[in-house]
Amino acid sequence: YPGDIFYLHLRLLERAAKSSSRLGEGSMTTLPIVDTQWGDVSVYIPTNLVSMIDGQIFLSANLFNARIKPAINVEISVSRVRFAAQIKAMKQLLKQSQSTPLTVAKQISIIYIETNGYLDSLEIGQLRKFPVELRTYLKTNKPQFQEIISSTQTFTEEVETLLKDTI
Protein backbone atom coordinates (compact mmCIF):
# COMPACT_ATOMS: atom_id res chain seq x y z
CA TYR A 1 0.00 0.00 0.00
CA PRO A 2 1.18 3.56 -0.55
CA GLY A 3 2.68 5.22 2.52
CA ASP A 4 -0.02 7.87 2.74
CA ILE A 5 -2.95 5.43 3.09
CA PHE A 6 -3.02 5.96 6.87
CA TYR A 7 -3.24 9.71 6.32
CA LEU A 8 -6.04 9.28 3.77
CA HIS A 9 -8.10 7.08 6.11
CA LEU A 10 -7.70 9.57 8.93
CA ARG A 11 -8.74 12.48 6.69
CA LEU A 12 -11.85 10.58 5.56
CA LEU A 13 -12.87 9.92 9.16
CA GLU A 14 -12.27 13.53 10.18
CA ARG A 15 -14.21 14.80 7.18
CA ALA A 16 -17.16 12.52 7.88
CA ALA A 17 -17.35 13.40 11.56
CA LYS A 18 -17.02 17.19 11.68
CA SER A 19 -19.77 19.63 10.74
CA SER A 20 -18.99 23.19 9.78
CA SER A 21 -20.10 26.18 11.85
CA ARG A 22 -22.47 27.06 9.01
CA LEU A 23 -24.26 23.74 9.61
CA GLY A 24 -24.40 24.12 13.39
CA GLU A 25 -21.13 22.38 14.18
CA GLY A 26 -21.18 19.15 16.19
CA SER A 27 -20.34 15.68 15.04
CA MET A 28 -21.95 12.58 13.65
CA THR A 29 -21.29 8.90 13.88
CA THR A 30 -19.11 7.41 11.18
CA LEU A 31 -19.39 3.77 10.24
CA PRO A 32 -16.35 2.70 8.24
CA ILE A 33 -16.86 -0.73 6.71
CA VAL A 34 -13.98 -2.95 5.66
CA ASP A 35 -14.35 -6.22 3.79
CA THR A 36 -11.54 -8.60 4.66
CA GLN A 37 -10.28 -11.56 2.70
CA TRP A 38 -11.06 -14.79 4.52
CA GLY A 39 -11.83 -12.87 7.71
CA ASP A 40 -8.20 -11.87 8.25
CA VAL A 41 -8.42 -8.76 10.43
CA SER A 42 -4.68 -8.55 11.04
CA VAL A 43 -3.82 -7.18 7.60
CA TYR A 44 -2.88 -3.56 7.06
CA ILE A 45 -6.18 -1.81 6.20
CA PRO A 46 -8.36 -3.24 9.04
CA THR A 47 -5.53 -2.73 11.54
CA ASN A 48 -5.14 0.82 10.30
CA LEU A 49 -8.84 1.63 10.82
CA VAL A 50 -9.01 -0.10 14.22
CA SER A 51 -6.27 2.20 15.49
CA MET A 52 -8.33 5.29 14.58
CA ILE A 53 -11.80 4.43 15.88
CA ASP A 54 -13.34 3.98 19.34
CA GLY A 55 -14.54 0.47 18.75
CA GLN A 56 -15.37 -2.06 16.11
CA ILE A 57 -17.80 -4.84 15.37
CA PHE A 58 -16.52 -7.83 13.46
CA LEU A 59 -19.13 -9.84 11.60
CA SER A 60 -18.42 -13.50 10.99
CA ALA A 61 -19.45 -15.50 7.93
CA ASN A 62 -19.07 -18.69 9.98
CA LEU A 63 -21.54 -17.45 12.60
CA PHE A 64 -23.91 -16.28 9.88
CA ASN A 65 -23.75 -19.67 8.16
CA ALA A 66 -24.43 -21.32 11.53
CA ARG A 67 -27.64 -19.21 11.65
CA ILE A 68 -26.41 -17.11 14.57
CA LYS A 69 -27.70 -13.61 14.01
CA PRO A 70 -26.53 -10.99 14.40
CA ALA A 71 -23.32 -12.70 13.37
CA ILE A 72 -21.06 -10.61 15.61
CA ASN A 73 -17.77 -12.13 16.68
CA VAL A 74 -17.71 -10.91 20.28
CA GLU A 75 -14.21 -12.25 20.90
CA ILE A 76 -12.55 -9.64 18.70
CA SER A 77 -15.20 -6.89 18.66
CA VAL A 78 -14.34 -4.12 21.08
CA SER A 79 -15.54 -0.82 22.51
CA ARG A 80 -13.09 1.60 24.05
CA VAL A 81 -15.81 3.80 25.54
CA ARG A 82 -17.61 1.19 27.65
CA PHE A 83 -16.01 2.20 30.97
CA ALA A 84 -16.33 5.90 30.23
CA ALA A 85 -20.05 5.38 29.62
CA GLN A 86 -20.64 4.00 33.11
CA ILE A 87 -21.22 6.40 35.95
CA LYS A 88 -19.24 6.09 39.20
CA ALA A 89 -22.25 4.82 41.12
CA MET A 90 -22.74 1.88 38.73
CA LYS A 91 -19.04 0.98 38.82
CA GLN A 92 -19.06 1.09 42.62
CA LEU A 93 -22.19 -1.04 42.78
CA LEU A 94 -20.97 -3.76 40.42
CA LYS A 95 -17.48 -4.26 41.88
CA GLN A 96 -16.76 -7.79 43.05
CA SER A 97 -13.96 -8.98 45.26
CA GLN A 98 -11.58 -11.26 43.39
CA SER A 99 -11.65 -13.82 46.18
CA THR A 100 -15.44 -13.83 46.63
CA PRO A 101 -17.29 -13.69 43.30
CA LEU A 102 -21.04 -13.15 43.47
CA THR A 103 -23.57 -15.85 42.65
CA VAL A 104 -26.16 -15.21 39.96
CA ALA A 105 -28.84 -14.68 42.61
CA LYS A 106 -26.71 -12.05 44.34
CA GLN A 107 -26.01 -10.28 41.07
CA ILE A 108 -29.73 -10.29 40.27
CA SER A 109 -30.55 -8.71 43.63
CA ILE A 110 -28.03 -5.92 43.04
CA ILE A 111 -29.20 -5.21 39.50
CA TYR A 112 -32.85 -5.25 40.61
CA ILE A 113 -32.39 -2.75 43.44
CA GLU A 114 -30.34 -0.46 41.22
CA THR A 115 -32.64 -0.51 38.19
CA ASN A 116 -35.74 0.04 40.30
CA GLY A 117 -34.42 3.15 42.02
CA TYR A 118 -33.90 1.75 45.51
CA LEU A 119 -30.36 3.16 45.62
CA ASP A 120 -31.10 6.61 44.25
CA SER A 121 -31.05 8.32 47.63
CA LEU A 122 -27.76 6.74 48.77
CA GLU A 123 -24.37 8.45 48.63
CA ILE A 124 -21.69 6.77 46.49
CA GLY A 125 -19.82 5.69 49.63
CA GLN A 126 -22.91 3.80 50.87
CA LEU A 127 -23.38 1.90 47.62
CA ARG A 128 -20.95 -0.88 48.60
CA LYS A 129 -22.47 -1.36 52.05
CA PHE A 130 -26.17 -1.62 51.17
CA PRO A 131 -25.95 -4.56 48.70
CA VAL A 132 -23.71 -6.50 51.13
CA GLU A 133 -26.26 -6.04 53.90
CA LEU A 134 -29.09 -6.99 51.52
CA ARG A 135 -27.30 -10.18 50.43
CA THR A 136 -26.58 -11.13 54.05
CA TYR A 137 -30.22 -10.57 54.99
CA LEU A 138 -31.49 -12.60 52.02
CA LYS A 139 -29.14 -15.47 52.79
CA THR A 140 -30.07 -15.55 56.48
CA ASN A 141 -33.78 -14.70 56.41
CA LYS A 142 -34.94 -15.56 52.88
CA PRO A 143 -32.94 -18.62 51.71
CA GLN A 144 -35.71 -19.45 49.25
CA PHE A 145 -34.55 -16.45 47.16
CA GLN A 146 -31.35 -18.28 46.17
CA GLU A 147 -33.15 -21.63 45.88
CA ILE A 148 -35.81 -20.33 43.46
CA ILE A 149 -33.30 -18.63 41.18
CA SER A 150 -30.97 -21.65 41.22
CA SER A 151 -33.75 -24.12 40.43
CA THR A 152 -35.79 -22.11 37.90
CA GLN A 153 -33.07 -19.91 36.37
CA THR A 154 -35.75 -17.20 36.05
CA PHE A 155 -36.79 -14.03 37.82
CA THR A 156 -40.22 -15.08 39.04
CA GLU A 157 -42.93 -12.99 40.70
CA GLU A 158 -42.13 -14.81 43.93
CA VAL A 159 -38.48 -13.74 43.71
CA GLU A 160 -39.51 -10.14 43.07
CA THR A 161 -41.89 -10.23 46.03
CA LEU A 162 -39.12 -11.56 48.27
CA LEU A 163 -36.86 -8.70 47.20
CA LYS A 164 -39.54 -6.04 47.66
CA ASP A 165 -40.44 -7.37 51.11
CA THR A 166 -36.77 -7.35 52.10
CA ILE A 167 -36.08 -3.82 50.89
Give the model confidence (pLDDT) of 15-43 as tens digits: 666 677 787 777 666 777 777 777 777 77
Same domain, yes or no: 137 and 115: yes
Number of domains forming the structure of the chain: 2
Single-letter residue type at 88: K
Shortest CA distance to 27 belongs to which of 39, 16, 37, 36? 16
Q: Which residues does the annotation mark as catalytic?
A: 80
156: CB partners within 8 A, 6+ apart: 148
Same domain, yes or no: 102 and 59: no
pLDDT band at 44 (very low <50, low <70, confident <90, very high): low
Domain holding 75, by residue range, is: 5-79
Same domain, yes or no: 52 and 98: no
Picking from 55, 79, 103, the residue at the C-terminal end of a domain is 79
Single-letter residue type at 162: L
Same domain, yes or no: 16 and 49: yes
Beta bridge pairs of residue 100: 97
pTM tops 0.85, yes or no: no
Rg (C-alpha) for the chain, rounded Å, is: 23
pLDDT tens sequence across 104-149 = 888 888 888 888 888 888 887 777 788 788 888 888 998 998 899 8
